[in-house]
Amino acid sequence: MAGSCLAQGDLAGLLASQPDLSTLLELVGLVDGLAETLAAASNITIVAPTNQAFAQVPRDTPEGQAVELRNDSIAIGALLANHVFKGAYPAEAVTEIPLFAQTLLDDSYVSAVQPFSNFTGGAYNGLVKNGKDVCVLSGEQTISTITQPDIKLGEGITIHKIDTVLSFGAPLELFLYRAGYLAMSGALDAAQLGFSFGLTGAEVQGLNISDFTIFVPQDAAFESIGSVVASADQKTLQDVLRYHIIPNNVIFSPSLGNVTVRSLQGTDLTFTVFPNGSAWVNNARITFPNNILYNGIAHVIDRWVDTPLDPVHHVLTKAPCLSVLSPLGGDFDRASLTPSKSASERLAFAGASPVSRLPFCSVSFQGDLMAYTTTPVLLQTMAAVATASSAANATASSAPTYPPTTGAGMKGLAPCAASVFSVAVGIAAFLV
């Protein structure tokens, strides 16, 4: 659908001209000065939920209650801030390789019930092409489809209508429970690393870290090395789990190349990207990348692999690949990575034997009723990194250019798909 264009400076007028955006107009009006401030901004993209999208927000969440009762300006402000990207993202610039960009949702949004995000510089959401559709990716495995793209407000603002309200990222432990990675949740609880990973409240103990990247093994991966887990002392378990965490770096998979990055444990993790687009950390394939959390990013490693690898490494068909990363042997040698090996041959813990029941007895958020029942197909099949063929499909005129990623401990990463653009001073302050 061809985009429309209105003069800069009248966001309220634009929303009022769209009958299916009347709920958004009302919510924007609850925050004094917001419409005027956003209208004066330069270089932002607003993804605008329709009335039907707002009606579908669960009413048992803080943001759902705020939408229903119009009584919580902090939750409303956080919800709206999460829908404003820093930067111009026209629909034609989005490809099948996801790009992730920051929003105006920062750590200033804290209600009596919860904080809403804790990324430095703003929470992340993603944009990706899915067939003929352009989709927006957010927390809680939420996918929103753009139903009307590229409504222009002057030269500085691009608006896309979407069919589903974006979700906030869940704290790590809540994500692990809802997504079914109970062994990782139990291991974190047993290890007592001293981090709360985004949990808040008077009863929460431990340091809250932000801007981290974590790799999450499958339950079956822990079971496959059950003999090691059962006999490990707490320090060994702590070292293994710290090895799965990269601190002070938000690393999305499209940024990866053949590089090494220092883990929280102190030993480097080795990344490898093959021409077919598969991405690996040590000897584990990243199979479900880019899960957006409250204050970090989670990549699931080694599920079922049923796609051909590049010709050099032959074909791996319907083979379970189950890995828990191991720091015990020092830095991983990329030359030793042979993806066509069976799971048992790629086991990072030599001599380990499987068990049917792990020793972890405590899992955070047990009993939560919002478990993810089905992972959307797009999230299971979306490309992790760009390949030569996908890069050829992105023309110079449509593909945005991003600044290089920076961050402690990051060495040699490719340009990151998360970019921060200039926004009018004071916009975030008007959202609360």
In order of their start, the domains of the chain are: 5-168+395-402+414-430 (2.30.180.10), 172-388 (2.30.180.10)
d(CA 67, CA 135): 23
**For 20-47, what is each residue's pLDDT tens digit?**
999 999 999 888 778 887 878 889 999 9
Mean pLDDT check: name the lowest of 201-210, 325-334, 346-355, 417-426: 417-426
pLDDT at residue 96, rounded to an integer: 95
44-49 and 157-162: which strand pairing?
parallel
CA 250, CA 120: separation in Å to the nearest integer?
Answer: 10
| CA nearest to 223, candidates 375, 359, 99, 104 | 359
**Residue with more model confidence, 50 or 364:** 50
Distance CA 144, CA 10 (A): 26
Select the more confidently predicted residue: 213 or 361.
213
For residues 52 and 55, give the distance between their C-alpha atoms in angstroms, rounded to a whole number. Answer: 5
Percent of residues in the chain assigned helix, strand, coil, to nearest 5: 25, 20, 55
The percent of residues above 90 in pLDDT, for the chain, comes to 46
Per-residue confidence (pLDDT) for residue 85, from 0 to 100? 97
pLDDT tens across 373-394, in order?
Answer: 788 999 988 888 987 666 555 5
Average pLDDT of the residues in 163-167 = 97
Q: What's the mean pLDDT when you consider all of the chain?
A: 81
Question: How many whole angstroms separate alpha carbon 358 and alpha carbon 376?
Answer: 29
Q: Is the pLDDT of residue 95 over 80?
A: yes
Q: Are residues 67 and 113 in contact, defined by beta-carbon separation less than 8 angstroms?
A: no
Nearest CA among 40, 293, 69, 282 for reference residue 167: 293
User: CA 142 to CA 290: how far, in whole Å?
Assistant: 12
Q: What is the mean pLDDT of residues 399-417?
A: 32
- pLDDT value at position 419? 30
pLDDT per position as a tens digit, 313-334: 434 334 445 678 988 878 888 9
User: What pTM was estimated for this model as a whole?
Assistant: 0.84
pLDDT at 224 over 80: yes
Q: What is the pLDDT of residue 322?
A: 64
Residue 415, pLDDT > 70, answer no
Judging by beta carbons within 10 Å of its beta carbon (0-12, 13-18, 19+), is residue 60 exposed, middle or buried?
A: exposed
Identify the three-state secondary structure at position 287: strand
Longest Cα separation, the chain: 68
Q: Indicate whether 162 pLDDT > 50.
A: yes
- Confidence band, pLDDT 50/70/90 cuts, at residue 345: low
Residue 108 identity: S
Separation CA 316–CA 156 (nearest Å): 48
pLDDT by residue (tens digit) across 253-306?
A: 999 999 999 999 999 999 999 988 889 999 899 989 999 999 999 999 985 444
Range with the largest mean pLDDT of 75-89, 302-316, 350-364: 75-89
- Band of the pLDDT at 369, cuts 50, 70, 90? confident
End-to-end CA distance of the chain: 34
What is d(CA 185, CA 201) in angstroms, rounded to the nearest whole number?
A: 19
> What percentage of residues in the chain have a pLDDT greater than 70?
79
